[in-house]
Structure formats: structure tokens, C-alpha cells
A and B are shown apart, each in its own frame.
Chain A
């Protein structure tokens, strides 16, 4: 089936409505094989609804979509055999051990990977005989990823895989995801962490109010949305703000002054001006544009207000 399709996932004019609410609104995109695709958006944007339609958990109101060349409306049984899923807020049976849980899910499929080899691949050998309820949050997510891989799927859907994890555990999951791409798997990553998408993804799509607002490689998204490098004058205060406000877009944030740079010459001009007026400051910091800037630019929403 994979050979017949050029795309791992193909979506065309997909719509999902709940009564009068349109959760997904005529979205269309294609994802090639072997990439990490990050699906970004705030809660309620339509991310999970879209993913659940691709996982054959929900029926589209209209439009079409295929996974590995298989139609999500007609080939559901075949799709389920060939995809791996880590649902949002993953959980499994509390009182089964890691090995028992993996065996349980392995027996759901006609062909499955060796359970011990899988345990080793997610670095859970020491915890193989520990009951799920006794694992830390990071280790639980590893179990979830291992379960998603138990049928050796060609596409893995990971819905908020690092939600609620500490930084160390998060990086552990990131390593596993990167390894999957190295093995040639296609990863469909749903997240609201900008850093996660920027670090891992080859392609990023931003969804808001059920519509795709942008989709491209991370670099292209940043370049194409006109985000600028910024200079932060830490501790510059009101004096620095007054001196630098002629640069369009300059902001005062607490005692820091943030100045968007139009070109490289701006940096020299600003330093000279601050020196000339003898304005004191703590330090200067160059801030490169990020995916978060793209997102804020597209949504005009304070990211802190979105979780």
C-alpha cells in the first residue's frame, strides 16, 4: 500500500462538525514519508480532532483523508494495523508491569516486534517488571511510546508526548522521537510546545480555529513570516526606551528595551547612541526569531494565554 502512495498522509478539504460548531474547517495538506511533522496550535484549535480522524477514532463530516494511501473512511481495519498511536494523556493498566503491558498490546496485532527488544529501545530494561502505576511521568510516556511502536508501524501519531514532563524527561522522549525518524518512520507530532516543534520537526503546520494558517519547514516559516532578530537592552529602562523608540516596534518590558533590527547596521547605530547619551544598561542580548514569533505573528495571541 505504501508503494502506491507518494505521501504518508494526504488530507483534502477535511471537515468535522459537532452540531453547529466546526472544529475542523476544510483543511488540506500532505506529509511525505520519513519526516517529523509537527502539528501546532492552542487547545481547541482542532489538533486532536484532526488526529483522531486520521486514527479512525472519529468520522469526518466531509472531505477525504488517506493514511499510507488507505482511505480513513473505508480502510479503517487496515490502517489500525499499520499505525502507532500515543494518545493525549496516555494511560495504560495500572497494575500490569511494563512487560505485561507491552505483551498485551503486542497480542492485539498479527505481527509485532519483540517485546524485550522494544523495552531495550526505550531504555526501560530496569523497569520491565515494574507495575505501570509505580513509574514516574517520564517513564510512563516511554511506555506509551513503546506501546505505540509495538506493531512496528510506518506512521506514529504522538499527541502531546511531553505534556507535563520535566525538562530531563522531555529530552529523553525527544531522543526517542529523533531515533524514529532516523529509522525511516514518519512521525505525526501534535504539540503546543514551540521549542519541541522547532527542535524536532522537519515540517510544521499551525492550526487555529480549525484552519491551517501556515505550513512549511521551520526555517521557511520564520523567513517567510518576516520575523526579525531583536536586540534586548537589559536594564536600559525608560531612558533607553526614549532613545531607541524611533526604531519601529520598540517595546519596554519591565526595565528591558526590545528593539527589532531591520539590518546588521542597526546594531552598531544603537550601541553608538546608547554610548553617546551615556545611558546605563546591564547587558545586550541578540534574540533570533523563533517559531514562537511566527505563531504569535499568525495568531496575534499571547502565547502564555494558550496552554
Chain B
């Protein structure tokens, strides 16, 4: 193996890339355009969101509140045992919303009513992560309380009864879930007091760091770039070079298959690094995102490149016609994009699709990038990276072995 051969192929690949307008657009500009579009239009859809509910109180009033939540049809309610640790449950089940009715909720409501306080309140606590529920820096809160400060001052003995909502703020559904629950709380108050519209919503940030949906979408777009550059780039290069005879010519030189694959890997990695850097810079300038790339992020990008380049090599080996190979690559990448939670929260999908997502390397790359760039949860990022690495090693070894370099090439 000669480094000079790897070097010249790597440098030449970069020159070819930067001189090609279409590849330049699809690899560098397209993900940014996609991010800007999604960033502009993201919002919760008109769908039923899965909401875990834990009733630690057990009073009639607590059940009445849960029934009110259930009756809206906005949520698919999943009851959770009162003894379950909420954070652990969120983490292990990767759900995006959990409502907790704390012990004493019913008594507090009764107490407030007896005092003449006409507005039991719901305190809605936001938890932006399902993978790291203990990440305190990621927490902020929205408190639903009386809109009438005068009424509040007149009832100093009344402590608002509160329910707690933990949501995954990386999900597009986060603002919808909290908004719907605020409305339900208002309606519940109205029923109890016999009057209408006596409570309002006060947003209150309780911690310094606040994350937006776009912060969580950026790693997904970077995952998309790794996937498409790895699979489509490899398939495109291999089939094009095979069909126009370049591979046959290269095979008559001392350039070895391993040297070719290594140089192409390095090239793909550099292109992905450049693309990721551009995405982050644009996202920072346009949306003021708080993503923080670090060494783990770079490692994840490299491991993801190995994985998806391997998949690309396998496709290119079996589908030799250029158009058919590109179609096959698209058939692999596009479903994976959607099933791996890049655009659509996994929890809004049917169970069987969520099961499929567990077998997709992009799912773990997306989780890993979010852990590394948003949540600062290195342990979880490394765990996800290990899964991508194992899948990548398998795909890459198979792809390297079966890539036809000489006979029939």
C-alpha cells in the first residue's frame, strides 16, 4: 500500500467534487435548503400524540383530570404504574410526552376550593430529552397559573395544585402537547369553578438554556447528509466509473482496491465534515441554534461514513446499471430517512414502524448526534456510536470484499 496513491486519488476526488456543480449542490446546498424549509414550516401535525400518564394521586379529581385529557382525542394515553421512575421510564421507552399527576393533587384542589380559590393550576415542566432525562441543563418550564394577579394576592393561602408534563423538545409535537394540555387545564378549571376563562397561561423559563425544535433538527439534517453522501455518493461513483471504463483503466495500474477504498473513504469523510460545518454555521446564523459539535460528533460522522459507504458498495456491486443503481440507493435511503426519525418523531409512528427503526443504523446515528451535539450526553452518544460502528464494520467489510475491482469490472 502506497500513501502517495491514496493521496493523489483523495486530492483528485476533492477537485472533481468541487468542480461539479450538481454534486456540490446536492451534497452541500441541498441539506441546508432542506433545513431552512423544515425550520420555517415545522409544527405539530393534526395527529394523535402518544402521552404516558402516571397518576400518583388516585383521587376522583385526578381521574377526572385524566378523563378530560383522554376525552380530547388529541392523545393516545398510555397509563404508567405509579411506582415507576418517570425519568427512567422516559429514557427506556423513548416517549416524547409524560404527564404526572402528583400525590396530593386532589387534596390540594379540594383545599383551594374550600379556601375560595377558584383556580387550581397546572404547572407544566418541560423536559427536552427522552435519552437523558437527568440532563438538568436542558430543562425549562412553562407554568400555567392564574392570569389574575389580583385574585392571586387575595388568596395567599392557596397553593396551586400542579400536574407535571415532561416532553421531548426535540420532537415537533412538543409545543402541541403542552399547548393542548394548557387548554385542558383551563377547561378543567372552568368546570370546577362554574365560570369561564378565569385562568391564563404564563410562560416561565426556570433554567438558562432553552432549546428549540431546530436545535434538534440540525443533527438530523447532518445524519441525512452522512446517509446520502455515503450511500448515493458511493453508488454513483462506483457505477459511473465502472460504466465509463475508468475502473477498468485503474485496474491496469498498480493502484490496489484497498488504496482506492481508503482514499474514497477519506474523501467522503472530508466532504461530510465540510457539509456538517456549513449546516451548523447556517443554522447558527439563521436560527441561532445552540448545537455544539465536539470530538464525539466528528467520530460519529466518521463512523457513519464507514457504515453508509459500506452499504453503498454493496448496492453498487449487485446493481451495475447506473440508473438502476441510483434508484436502488434511493430506495434504501429515503425510507430510512423517514423511518429513522430524521423528520418525523418516531413516537408518532405505528409500533411496527418503530420496531423497524430499531434496526436502522441511521436511527442510532441521529440519536448519537443529538446526544453529542445537543444534550452533551457523551455516554449515550458513545453507546449509539458503538451500534453504528458494529453495523458499519459489517457493511464495510462485506462491501470491501465484494467490490469487483478487476474481473468483470
Contacts and interface: CB of A to CB of B under 8 A. Distances in A.
A100 B7 CA distance: 13
Nearest to A77: B254
Given A57-B409, A59-B407, A80-B254, A107 B5 contact: yes
A81 interface: yes
A96 B254 contact: no
A89 B245 contact: yes
Given A91-B246, A108-B255, A100 B15 contact: yes
B253 A109 contact: yes
Nearest to B23: A95
Contacts of A57: 248, 251-252, 406-407, 409
A100 B408 CA distance: 28
Interface string B392-409: 000000000000001111
Interface residues of B, number: 24
Given A55-B252, A95-B20, A108 B407 contact: no
Nearest to B408: A58
Contacts of B19: 95, 131
Interface string A103-128: 11101111000000000000000000
B254 A108 contact: yes
B4 A107 contact: yes
B83 interface: no
Interface string B243-285: 0111011011111000000000000000000000000000000
A96 to B, nearest CB: 6
A220 B112 CA distance: 118
Interface in B1-60: 4-5, 7-9, 12, 15-16, 19-20
A187 interface: no
Nearest to B8: A107
A80 B407 contact: no
B20 A109 contact: no
Contact of A87 (B7, B249, B408): B249
A12 interface: no
Nearest to B256: A77
Interface in A146-195: 147
Task: Say whether chain B's binding surface is mostly helix, strand, loop, or mixed.
Answer: helix
Contact of A104 (B8, B251, B252): B8
Centre residue among A57, A58, A83 by max chain B CB count within 10 A: A57
B245 A83 contact: no
A96 B16 contact: yes
B15 A92 contact: no
Contacts of B12: 93, 96, 100, 104
A98 interface: no
Contact of B15 (A59, A77, A87, A96): A96
A131 B15 CA distance: 12
Given A95-B20, A104-B9, A108-B5, A87 B407 contact: no
A43 interface: no
Contacts of B255: 108
A297 to B, nearest CB: 34
A94 to B, nearest CB: 8
Contacts of B9: 104
A56 interface: yes
Given A57-B407, A100-B12, A107-B8, A93 B246 contact: yes
Given A104-B9, A108-B253, A95 B16 contact: yes
A95 B245 contact: no
B408 to A, nearest CB: 8
A85 interface: yes
A91 B252 contact: no
B273 to A, nearest CB: 21
Contact of A85 (B7, B246, B249, B407): B249
A85 B245 contact: no
B406 A56 contact: yes
Nearest to A109: B254
B252 A85 contact: yes
B249 A90 contact: yes
Contacts of A77: 254
Contact of A83 (B8, B252, B408): B252
Interface in A45-78: 55-59, 77
Contacts of B254: 77, 80-81, 108-110
Nearest to A94: B16
A91 B245 CA distance: 6
A95 B19 CA distance: 7
Interface in B371-409: 406-409
Contacts of B249: 85, 87, 90-92, 147
A281 B20 CA distance: 62
A88 interface: yes
Nearest to A147: B249
Contacts of A90: 245, 249
B252 A80 contact: yes
A93 B16 CA distance: 8
A59 B408 CA distance: 10
A59 B107 CA distance: 86
Contact of B253 (A95, A96, A105): A105
B171 to A, nearest CB: 42
Nearest to A18: B408
Nearest to B407: A58
A60 B378 CA distance: 54
Nearest to B246: A91
Given A100-B15, A108-B255, 18 more contacts: A55-B252, A57-B407, A59-B407, A81-B254, A83-B252, A90-B245, A91-B246, A91-B249, A92-B246, A95-B16, A95-B20, A100-B12, A104-B12, A108-B5, A109-B253, A109-B254, A131-B19, A147-B249
Interface of B: 4-5, 7-9, 12, 15-16, 19-20, 244-246, 248-249, 251-255, 406-409
25 contacts: A57-B252, A57-B406, A57-B409, A58-B407, A80-B253, A85-B249, A87-B248, A87-B249, A88-B245, A90-B245, A91-B244, A91-B245, A91-B246, A92-B246, A93-B12, A94-B16, A95-B15, A95-B16, A96-B12, A100-B12, A100-B15, A104-B12, A107-B8, A108-B254, A109-B254
Complex A-B, nearest 7 residue pairs according to Cβ-Cβ distance, in ascending order: A85-B252, A107-B8, A95-B19, A108-B253, A91-B244, A95-B16, A91-B245
